Structure 1
Amino acid sequence: MARLIAERADALPGLAEAFREHGYAGASLSVIGTATGLGRGSLYHFFPGGKREMAEAVLANIAAWFETAVFAPLSEAEDPRTGIDAMMVAIDRYFQSGRRACLIGAWGLGATRNPFAAPIAGYFQRWIAVLKDALQRGGVAEDHATTLAQDVVGGIQGAITLSRALDDPGLFRATLGRLTARLYTALAAA
Protein backbone atom coordinates (compact mmCIF):
# COMPACT_ATOMS: atom_id res chain seq x y z
CA MET A 1 0.00 0.00 0.00
CA ALA A 2 1.40 3.38 -1.01
CA ARG A 3 1.91 5.86 1.79
CA LEU A 4 1.21 9.55 1.70
CA ILE A 5 4.27 11.59 0.87
CA ALA A 6 3.53 15.28 0.67
CA GLU A 7 6.93 16.56 -0.40
CA ARG A 8 9.85 15.40 -2.44
CA ALA A 9 12.09 15.51 0.66
CA ASP A 10 9.89 12.88 2.33
CA ALA A 11 11.02 10.34 -0.28
CA LEU A 12 14.75 10.92 0.24
CA PRO A 13 15.35 8.56 3.21
CA GLY A 14 13.77 5.64 1.34
CA LEU A 15 15.62 6.53 -1.84
CA ALA A 16 18.92 6.69 0.02
CA GLU A 17 18.38 3.27 1.58
CA ALA A 18 17.40 1.76 -1.78
CA PHE A 19 20.57 3.14 -3.40
CA ARG A 20 22.68 2.25 -0.36
CA GLU A 21 21.55 -1.37 -0.30
CA HIS A 22 21.15 -2.07 -4.03
CA GLY A 23 23.54 0.37 -5.68
CA TYR A 24 22.57 2.75 -8.43
CA ALA A 25 22.20 0.10 -11.12
CA GLY A 26 20.44 -2.38 -8.84
CA ALA A 27 17.90 0.12 -7.52
CA SER A 28 15.14 -0.53 -10.02
CA LEU A 29 11.97 1.53 -9.95
CA SER A 30 10.32 -1.45 -8.28
CA VAL A 31 12.94 -1.49 -5.50
CA ILE A 32 12.73 2.30 -5.18
CA GLY A 33 8.93 2.17 -5.05
CA THR A 34 9.03 -0.42 -2.27
CA ALA A 35 11.63 1.58 -0.30
CA THR A 36 9.74 4.87 -0.61
CA GLY A 37 6.18 3.57 -0.64
CA LEU A 38 5.58 5.53 -3.84
CA GLY A 39 4.20 4.31 -7.13
CA ARG A 40 5.92 4.97 -10.42
CA GLY A 41 3.69 7.96 -11.19
CA SER A 42 4.43 9.61 -7.86
CA LEU A 43 8.15 9.00 -8.26
CA TYR A 44 8.13 10.75 -11.62
CA HIS A 45 5.96 13.53 -10.20
CA PHE A 46 8.61 14.31 -7.58
CA PHE A 47 11.58 13.42 -9.81
CA PRO A 48 10.70 14.11 -13.45
CA GLY A 49 14.34 13.46 -14.40
CA GLY A 50 13.99 9.84 -13.29
CA LYS A 51 16.52 7.81 -11.38
CA ARG A 52 19.40 10.18 -12.09
CA GLU A 53 17.48 13.08 -10.53
CA MET A 54 16.65 10.85 -7.56
CA ALA A 55 20.34 10.03 -7.12
CA GLU A 56 21.34 13.69 -7.39
CA ALA A 57 18.75 14.61 -4.75
CA VAL A 58 20.04 11.89 -2.42
CA LEU A 59 23.65 13.03 -2.87
CA ALA A 60 22.64 16.64 -2.18
CA ASN A 61 20.72 15.55 0.91
CA ILE A 62 23.70 13.60 2.25
CA ALA A 63 26.01 16.56 1.55
CA ALA A 64 23.65 18.90 3.43
CA TRP A 65 23.51 16.54 6.42
CA PHE A 66 27.30 16.29 6.55
CA GLU A 67 27.62 20.06 6.23
CA THR A 68 25.39 20.57 9.26
CA ALA A 69 26.32 17.62 11.47
CA VAL A 70 30.02 17.13 10.70
CA PHE A 71 31.62 20.00 8.80
CA ALA A 72 30.05 22.94 10.66
CA PRO A 73 31.00 21.64 14.13
CA LEU A 74 34.56 21.02 12.92
CA SER A 75 34.75 24.50 11.38
CA GLU A 76 33.06 26.43 14.14
CA ALA A 77 34.42 24.83 17.30
CA GLU A 78 36.86 27.08 19.10
CA ASP A 79 38.65 24.02 20.47
CA PRO A 80 39.34 21.49 17.69
CA ARG A 81 38.75 18.64 20.15
CA THR A 82 35.14 19.75 20.55
CA GLY A 83 34.65 19.63 16.77
CA ILE A 84 36.39 16.25 16.54
CA ASP A 85 34.17 14.83 19.28
CA ALA A 86 31.06 16.14 17.52
CA MET A 87 32.27 14.67 14.22
CA MET A 88 32.89 11.23 15.70
CA VAL A 89 29.54 11.11 17.50
CA ALA A 90 27.71 12.18 14.34
CA ILE A 91 29.62 9.67 12.21
CA ASP A 92 28.89 6.83 14.63
CA ARG A 93 25.18 7.66 14.61
CA TYR A 94 24.94 8.25 10.86
CA PHE A 95 26.66 5.01 9.93
CA GLN A 96 24.89 3.16 12.75
CA SER A 97 28.17 2.00 14.27
CA GLY A 98 29.29 0.62 10.92
CA ARG A 99 26.07 -1.24 10.12
CA ARG A 100 25.06 1.32 7.47
CA ALA A 101 27.00 1.47 4.21
CA CYS A 102 28.45 4.74 2.98
CA LEU A 103 26.55 5.39 -0.22
CA ILE A 104 29.01 7.98 -1.46
CA GLY A 105 31.98 5.76 -0.67
CA ALA A 106 30.41 2.79 -2.44
CA TRP A 107 29.49 4.85 -5.49
CA GLY A 108 33.01 6.26 -5.61
CA LEU A 109 34.37 2.76 -6.26
CA GLY A 110 32.41 1.62 -9.30
CA ALA A 111 30.88 2.70 -12.56
CA THR A 112 28.36 4.84 -10.66
CA ARG A 113 31.19 7.27 -9.93
CA ASN A 114 31.33 8.56 -13.51
CA PRO A 115 28.02 10.42 -13.70
CA PHE A 116 28.37 11.68 -10.12
CA ALA A 117 32.14 12.27 -9.94
CA ALA A 118 31.95 15.92 -8.87
CA PRO A 119 29.68 15.49 -5.82
CA ILE A 120 31.50 12.30 -4.77
CA ALA A 121 34.93 13.95 -4.95
CA GLY A 122 33.56 17.13 -3.37
CA TYR A 123 32.23 15.22 -0.35
CA PHE A 124 35.61 13.67 0.44
CA GLN A 125 37.60 16.81 -0.41
CA ARG A 126 35.38 18.91 1.87
CA TRP A 127 35.66 16.46 4.76
CA ILE A 128 39.45 16.28 4.49
CA ALA A 129 39.78 20.08 4.15
CA VAL A 130 37.57 20.86 7.15
CA LEU A 131 39.32 18.31 9.37
CA LYS A 132 42.73 19.59 8.19
CA ASP A 133 41.71 23.17 9.01
CA ALA A 134 40.56 22.14 12.49
CA LEU A 135 43.89 20.45 13.11
CA GLN A 136 45.80 23.50 11.87
CA ARG A 137 43.77 25.75 14.18
CA GLY A 138 45.02 23.49 16.96
CA GLY A 139 48.62 24.09 15.91
CA VAL A 140 49.29 20.99 13.76
CA ALA A 141 51.61 21.75 10.82
CA GLU A 142 49.90 21.87 7.43
CA ASP A 143 51.60 18.81 5.89
CA HIS A 144 50.92 16.66 8.95
CA ALA A 145 47.34 17.97 9.21
CA THR A 146 46.71 17.06 5.55
CA THR A 147 48.09 13.54 5.93
CA LEU A 148 46.27 12.97 9.20
CA ALA A 149 42.94 14.20 7.81
CA GLN A 150 43.31 11.90 4.79
CA ASP A 151 44.20 8.96 7.07
CA VAL A 152 41.23 9.60 9.36
CA VAL A 153 38.65 9.92 6.58
CA GLY A 154 40.14 6.85 4.88
CA GLY A 155 40.14 4.99 8.19
CA ILE A 156 36.47 5.76 8.76
CA GLN A 157 35.59 4.57 5.27
CA GLY A 158 37.60 1.39 5.73
CA ALA A 159 36.02 0.75 9.12
CA ILE A 160 32.55 0.99 7.58
CA THR A 161 33.44 -1.66 5.03
CA LEU A 162 35.18 -3.95 7.50
CA SER A 163 32.45 -3.61 10.16
CA ARG A 164 29.76 -4.51 7.63
CA ALA A 165 31.78 -7.38 6.15
CA LEU A 166 32.44 -8.87 9.60
CA ASP A 167 29.06 -7.82 11.04
CA ASP A 168 30.94 -6.27 13.95
CA PRO A 169 29.81 -2.79 15.04
CA GLY A 170 32.32 -2.94 17.89
CA LEU A 171 35.12 -2.81 15.32
CA PHE A 172 33.72 0.43 13.91
CA ARG A 173 33.53 2.08 17.32
CA ALA A 174 37.00 0.87 18.26
CA THR A 175 38.38 2.31 15.03
CA LEU A 176 36.70 5.65 15.71
CA GLY A 177 38.29 5.61 19.17
CA ARG A 178 41.77 4.93 17.76
CA LEU A 179 41.36 7.63 15.10
CA THR A 180 40.21 10.12 17.73
CA ALA A 181 43.26 9.25 19.84
CA ARG A 182 45.52 9.91 16.85
CA LEU A 183 43.94 13.31 16.31
CA TYR A 184 44.23 14.19 20.01
CA THR A 185 47.88 13.07 20.06
CA ALA A 186 48.68 15.34 17.12
CA LEU A 187 46.93 18.26 18.81
CA ALA A 188 48.74 17.61 22.11
CA ALA A 189 52.10 17.46 20.33
CA ALA A 190 51.41 20.76 18.62
Structure 2
Amino acid sequence: MRPQKIDDTALLGRLIDVFRSKGYEGSSLNDLATSAGLKKASLYHRFPGGKEEIVTTVLEYTTTWGKTHVEDTLANQAIPARQRLEKVIDHIDVLYAQGTKTCILRALSMDTGITSLDSLIQVTMNNWIQAFKTFAQEIGFSSEIAHQKALQTLINIQGSLIITKGLNDTTIFKNTLETIQNLYYPTT
Protein backbone atom coordinates (compact mmCIF):
# COMPACT_ATOMS: atom_id res chain seq x y z
CA MET A 1 0.00 0.00 0.00
CA ARG A 2 1.34 3.41 -0.99
CA PRO A 3 1.81 6.01 1.73
CA GLN A 4 -0.68 8.87 1.83
CA LYS A 5 0.48 12.16 0.33
CA ILE A 6 -1.19 14.15 3.08
CA ASP A 7 -2.18 13.24 6.64
CA ASP A 8 -5.83 13.30 7.64
CA THR A 9 -5.69 16.44 9.81
CA ALA A 10 -3.96 18.51 7.13
CA LEU A 11 -6.35 17.12 4.50
CA LEU A 12 -9.41 18.02 6.56
CA GLY A 13 -8.04 21.53 7.16
CA ARG A 14 -7.70 22.08 3.43
CA LEU A 15 -11.16 20.67 2.71
CA ILE A 16 -12.66 22.86 5.44
CA ASP A 17 -11.12 25.92 3.78
CA VAL A 18 -12.82 25.08 0.48
CA PHE A 19 -16.23 24.65 2.12
CA ARG A 20 -15.67 27.81 4.18
CA SER A 21 -15.07 29.87 1.06
CA LYS A 22 -17.57 28.27 -1.33
CA GLY A 23 -20.19 26.52 0.77
CA TYR A 24 -21.42 23.03 -0.06
CA GLU A 25 -23.09 23.72 -3.40
CA GLY A 26 -20.24 25.93 -4.65
CA SER A 27 -17.52 23.40 -3.83
CA SER A 28 -16.78 21.02 -6.67
CA LEU A 29 -14.83 17.79 -6.38
CA ASN A 30 -12.18 19.47 -8.54
CA ASP A 31 -11.94 22.33 -6.02
CA LEU A 32 -11.66 19.88 -3.14
CA ALA A 33 -9.07 17.69 -4.89
CA THR A 34 -6.97 20.68 -5.97
CA SER A 35 -6.99 22.16 -2.48
CA ALA A 36 -6.04 18.79 -1.00
CA GLY A 37 -3.21 18.39 -3.50
CA LEU A 38 -4.77 15.13 -4.67
CA LYS A 39 -6.20 13.77 -7.89
CA LYS A 40 -9.95 13.21 -7.89
CA ALA A 41 -9.34 9.44 -7.91
CA SER A 42 -7.28 9.73 -4.71
CA LEU A 43 -9.99 11.85 -3.12
CA TYR A 44 -12.60 9.23 -4.07
CA HIS A 45 -10.33 6.52 -2.66
CA ARG A 46 -10.37 8.30 0.72
CA PHE A 47 -14.02 9.31 0.45
CA PRO A 48 -15.90 6.74 -1.66
CA GLY A 49 -19.17 8.49 -0.82
CA GLY A 50 -18.04 11.57 -2.73
CA LYS A 51 -18.75 15.14 -1.72
CA GLU A 52 -21.46 14.18 0.77
CA GLU A 53 -19.04 11.91 2.65
CA ILE A 54 -16.36 14.60 2.53
CA VAL A 55 -18.63 17.26 4.02
CA THR A 56 -19.93 14.85 6.66
CA THR A 57 -16.36 13.98 7.65
CA VAL A 58 -15.49 17.68 7.78
CA LEU A 59 -18.44 18.37 10.10
CA GLU A 60 -17.61 15.39 12.30
CA TYR A 61 -14.05 16.70 12.58
CA THR A 62 -15.42 20.15 13.45
CA THR A 63 -17.62 18.63 16.15
CA THR A 64 -14.63 16.73 17.57
CA TRP A 65 -12.52 19.90 17.49
CA GLY A 66 -15.26 21.72 19.42
CA LYS A 67 -15.43 18.95 22.00
CA THR A 68 -11.69 19.05 22.60
CA HIS A 69 -11.03 22.79 22.39
CA VAL A 70 -14.27 24.25 23.75
CA GLU A 71 -16.35 21.73 25.70
CA ASP A 72 -13.56 19.78 27.41
CA THR A 73 -11.54 22.92 28.11
CA LEU A 74 -14.48 24.72 29.71
CA ALA A 75 -15.29 21.63 31.80
CA ASN A 76 -11.72 21.01 33.02
CA GLN A 77 -12.04 22.02 36.67
CA ALA A 78 -8.35 21.32 37.28
CA ILE A 79 -7.77 24.73 35.66
CA PRO A 80 -9.15 27.93 37.25
CA ALA A 81 -12.38 29.03 35.56
CA ARG A 82 -11.12 32.34 34.19
CA GLN A 83 -8.09 30.63 32.63
CA ARG A 84 -10.36 28.04 31.00
CA LEU A 85 -12.40 30.77 29.38
CA GLU A 86 -9.25 32.57 28.23
CA LYS A 87 -7.95 29.32 26.78
CA VAL A 88 -11.20 28.69 24.89
CA ILE A 89 -11.17 32.24 23.53
CA ASP A 90 -7.58 31.67 22.36
CA HIS A 91 -8.66 28.43 20.65
CA ILE A 92 -11.53 30.24 18.92
CA ASP A 93 -9.16 32.99 17.82
CA VAL A 94 -6.86 30.40 16.23
CA LEU A 95 -9.78 28.47 14.70
CA TYR A 96 -10.94 31.56 12.84
CA ALA A 97 -7.40 32.81 12.14
CA GLN A 98 -7.96 36.03 14.10
CA GLY A 99 -11.23 36.62 12.25
CA THR A 100 -9.96 36.05 8.72
CA LYS A 101 -11.69 32.68 8.21
CA THR A 102 -15.41 32.12 7.83
CA CYS A 103 -17.20 29.70 10.13
CA ILE A 104 -17.64 26.29 8.54
CA LEU A 105 -21.01 25.94 10.26
CA ARG A 106 -22.26 29.16 8.68
CA ALA A 107 -20.89 28.17 5.29
CA LEU A 108 -22.65 24.81 5.43
CA SER A 109 -25.87 25.98 7.05
CA MET A 110 -27.23 27.08 3.68
CA ASP A 111 -29.90 24.69 2.43
CA THR A 112 -28.10 21.67 1.02
CA GLY A 113 -30.96 19.21 1.20
CA ILE A 114 -28.76 16.86 3.24
CA THR A 115 -30.57 16.24 6.51
CA SER A 116 -27.52 14.72 8.20
CA LEU A 117 -25.62 18.00 7.71
CA ASP A 118 -28.36 19.98 9.40
CA SER A 119 -28.27 17.52 12.30
CA LEU A 120 -24.48 17.72 12.68
CA ILE A 121 -24.54 21.52 12.57
CA GLN A 122 -27.28 21.57 15.20
CA VAL A 123 -25.40 19.10 17.42
CA THR A 124 -22.20 21.15 17.22
CA MET A 125 -23.96 24.42 18.02
CA ASN A 126 -25.95 22.85 20.86
CA ASN A 127 -22.76 21.34 22.30
CA TRP A 128 -21.07 24.76 22.36
CA ILE A 129 -24.17 26.37 23.88
CA GLN A 130 -24.37 23.69 26.57
CA ALA A 131 -20.64 23.98 27.34
CA PHE A 132 -20.82 27.75 27.77
CA LYS A 133 -24.06 27.45 29.76
CA THR A 134 -22.58 24.86 32.13
CA PHE A 135 -19.49 27.03 32.54
CA ALA A 136 -21.61 30.10 33.32
CA GLN A 137 -23.60 28.14 35.90
CA GLU A 138 -20.38 26.90 37.48
CA ILE A 139 -19.18 30.47 38.00
CA GLY A 140 -22.46 31.48 39.62
CA PHE A 141 -25.05 32.46 37.02
CA SER A 142 -28.59 31.08 37.17
CA SER A 143 -29.62 28.52 34.55
CA GLU A 144 -31.65 31.09 32.62
CA ILE A 145 -28.94 33.77 32.62
CA ALA A 146 -26.29 31.14 31.82
CA HIS A 147 -28.30 30.02 28.80
CA GLN A 148 -28.67 33.62 27.61
CA LYS A 149 -24.92 34.18 27.98
CA ALA A 150 -24.15 30.98 26.07
CA LEU A 151 -26.45 31.97 23.20
CA GLN A 152 -25.01 35.49 23.17
CA THR A 153 -21.51 34.02 22.97
CA LEU A 154 -22.33 32.17 19.75
CA ILE A 155 -24.23 35.15 18.36
CA ASN A 156 -21.24 37.39 19.10
CA ILE A 157 -18.77 35.01 17.46
CA GLN A 158 -20.87 34.39 14.34
CA GLY A 159 -21.98 37.98 13.95
CA SER A 160 -18.48 39.36 14.36
CA LEU A 161 -17.12 36.97 11.73
CA ILE A 162 -19.65 38.23 9.20
CA ILE A 163 -19.01 41.89 10.01
CA THR A 164 -15.24 41.36 10.11
CA LYS A 165 -15.38 39.85 6.63
CA GLY A 166 -17.77 42.48 5.27
CA LEU A 167 -15.73 45.42 6.56
CA ASN A 168 -12.34 43.71 6.14
CA ASP A 169 -11.44 44.69 9.70
CA THR A 170 -10.13 41.96 12.02
CA THR A 171 -10.18 44.28 15.04
CA ILE A 172 -13.94 43.67 15.14
CA PHE A 173 -13.37 39.97 15.82
CA LYS A 174 -10.59 40.71 18.31
CA ASN A 175 -12.82 43.14 20.21
CA THR A 176 -15.68 40.65 20.17
CA LEU A 177 -13.53 37.99 21.81
CA GLU A 178 -12.75 40.50 24.56
CA THR A 179 -16.46 41.20 25.04
CA ILE A 180 -17.06 37.47 25.45
CA GLN A 181 -14.61 37.49 28.35
CA ASN A 182 -16.54 40.44 29.82
CA LEU A 183 -19.84 38.62 29.34
CA TYR A 184 -18.76 36.08 31.96
CA TYR A 185 -16.45 38.30 34.01
CA PRO A 186 -17.82 41.85 33.79
CA THR A 187 -15.32 44.60 34.41
CA THR A 188 -16.40 47.16 36.95
Question: TM-score, structure 2 length as denominator?
Answer: 0.91
Distance 1:112 1:104 in 2: 12
Whether 2:130 is the aligned partner of 1:123: answer: no
Please identify runs of 4+ aligned residues in structure 1 that moved more than 3 A: 6-10
Q: State the AA in 2 paired with 1:150.
A: L
Distance 2:168 2:24 in 1: 23
Q: Residues 81-122 of structure 1: CA distance to partner in whole angstroms, max 9, x if unpaired?
A: 1221111111111101110000112222x2137431111001
Counterpart for residue 27 of structure 1? 27
List gaps (5 residues or longer) in structure 1: none
Q: State the AA in 2 paired with 1:31.
A: D
Q: Percent identity?
A: 28
Contact 1:104-1:120 within 8 A present in 2 as well: yes
Contact 1:15-1:32 within 8 A present in 2 as well: yes
Counterpart for residue 104 of structure 2? 103
Structure 1 residues 70-85: aligned runs within 5 Å: 70-77=70-77, 78-85=79-86
Distance 2:59 2:113 in 1: 12
Distance 2:112 2:181 in 1: 31
Distance 1:57 1:9 in 2: 11
List gaps (5 residues or longer) in structure 2: none
Q: State the AA in 2 paired with 1:117.
A: D
Contact 1:131-1:149 within 8 A present in 2 as well: yes
Deviating more after overlay: 45-54 vs 113-122: 113-122
Q: State the AA in 2 paired with 1:24.
A: Y
SS in 2 for 1:111: coil
Counterpart for residue 146 of structure 1? 147
CA RMSD of superposed structures (Å): 1.8
Rate the CA distance shift 1:10–1:99 in 2: closer, same or farther, 3 A: closer
Deviating more after overlay: 13-22 vs 45-54: 13-22
Distance 1:112 1:165 in 2: 24
Contact 2:99-2:173 within 8 A present in 1 as well: yes
Higher helix share: 1
Contact 2:73-2:84 within 8 A present in 1 as well: yes
Q: Residues 41-90 of structure 1: CA distance to partner in whole angstroms, max 9, x if unpaired?
A: 10110000000000011111111111111111101135321221111111
Counterpart for residue 169 of structure 2? 168
Distance 2:144 2:44 in 1: 48
Whether 2:49 is the aligned partner of 1:63: answer: no
Rate the CA distance shift 1:181–1:9 in 2: closer, same or farther, 3 A: closer
